Amino acid sequence: MKQVAVLDVGSSKLELFVGERGINGTFVIKAKANNSYAGFMDGEFIEPENLKKSFNKIIGEVENSLNKKIKKLYVGVPAEFLITSERELKIDFGGKRTKITSAHIDKLFNTKFENEYSATHEIINVAPLYYLLSDGTRTLNAVNKYSNNLRVVASFIYANNEYINFVLEILNELNIYDIEFISSPLATATYLLDEETREKGALLVDCGYISTSVSLCLGEGLQDLRSFSLGGGHITADLSEHLNLPFFSAELLKRKTLLCIDADDDDYYEVNVENKIVKVGAKITNNIVLSRIDTICNTIEKCIELFDYTIPENMKIYLTGGGISYIKGAKDYMQEVMNRKIEIVSPWPPQLNMPELSGIVGLLDTALYMEQNSKYKYFKS
């Protein structure tokens, strides 16, 4: 059974899994570790000098657990370090009607692609949004279909060179040299959303601790991608500042918040503050949380408006990540504010069924596919 090591670089913690496929679409996790760190904002690490320590800690823990060294590592690239583009690739059959085979697909994708952003970014993922046949048919799977040529509209995802070089430098110092980079938003989307959903086009919002990505998913790729530096950690910071609470206590309060109730002036939450139980007004707490969620919703809407494509007003949003998903009543409030249906999605295996694990499980799923289909460097289908 193929086994892979994957590293998710989240906006508040690093997560490392070593795993393999189990039965019925599950995973067998052989070892795992995580470590909180300062994170990143606006496409830059906040405390880059301390990141090596975090890498060293979790890699050491996993290697000790496995009693062996990690030789190959798949590393996720967060949305804030990515850009996307779309281009058409084509094979001409000389006007002859031809039955398309997997060899034709291989020819399309197993090539050296020109990088239009080579000065600042490196291509890390290329995947089909859809195929076009000569009779005008648009399809997600062109194999065994007939056409006079084969065209594919492909999603190209580029990672920031500074991110790539910085991570490579850290891992090389830890004696890991076989490294593959994967777009975290793409891996999350292709794992969480089924093929039928992605064929129609879908919006996936991954709201983390201090970073949120908004992906327009289509086929096996991302048609567009935007991100911004806001998340659940900003709600905690607001509670801490306005209620004069220690940050840890504010985080506990956030997790107790019930936005589904219309709190009165006499209602309160109880929260541990330096080992003492303190009562905090529920109404003011809820208003602080709602105010920040308003800001996050408005920024998500701006991202959608900035897409190069017109998004139908009835297209629902799939929401994942640990930033907002756990706040009771947040989803319903966001639906009202954004006037879109929202569905919270997360990995379905019971032991991994948490929105905050969507990124690492998506990377594990993609890495296992790539390992089992190693002839493709960029392509997941």
What tens digit of pLDDT does each residue of 344-362 get?
999 999 999 999 999 999 9
Three-state DSSP class for 153?
Answer: strand
pLDDT, tens only, 240-295: 999 999 999 999 999 999 999 999 999 999 999 999 999 999 999 999 999 999 99
Q: What is the mean pLDDT of the chain?
A: 94
Residue type, 20: E
What is the CATH T-level fold of the domain 83-158, as seen in this structure? Dna Ligase; domain 1 (3.30.1490)
Q: What is the band of 378 on the pLDDT scale with cuts at 50, 70, 90?
A: low
Beta bridge partners of 72: 178
pLDDT of residue 95: 85
pLDDT value of position 109? 85
Rounded distance between C-alpha atoms, residue 342 and residue 325, angstroms: 11
Residue pair 151/135 in contact (Cβ under 8 Å)? The answer is no
Q: Looking at residues 55-73, what average pLDDT do you find?
A: 97
Check whether 372 has a pLDDT greater than 90: no
- Percent of all residues in the chain with a pLDDT value above 70, rounded to a whole number: 98
User: For the chain, which residues make up each domain, given as ranges?
Assistant: 83-158, 194-344
Pairing between strand 13-21 and 27-36? antiparallel
pLDDT score of 341 more than 50: yes
**Per-residue buried b or exposed e for 38-50, using 16+ beta carbons within 10 Å of the residue's own CB:** bbbbebebeeeee
CATH superfamily of 194-344: ATPase, nucleotide binding domain (3.30.420.40)
* Contact yes or no for 221/129 (Cβ under 8 A): yes
Q: What is the spatial distance between Cα 117 and Cα 103, in angstroms, rounded to a whole number?
A: 29
> pTM score, two decimals?
0.95
Q: What pLDDT digit, counting tens, does each position of 217-240 carry?
A: 999 999 999 999 999 999 999 999
pLDDT for 196: 94
pLDDT of residue 93 exceeding 50: yes
Token pair recorded at residue 244: 């004069």
Read off the pLDDT band of 376 (50, 70, 90). Answer: low
Cβ atoms of residues 229 and 41 within 8 Å: yes
pLDDT the model gives residue 197: 96
- When pLDDT is cut at 50, 70 and 90, the band that residue 159 belongs to is very high
Looking at residue 381, its pLDDT comes to 39
Supply the pLDDT for residue 111: 75
Q: What is the structure's pLDDT at 108?
A: 85
Q: What average pLDDT does this structure show over 152-157?
A: 96
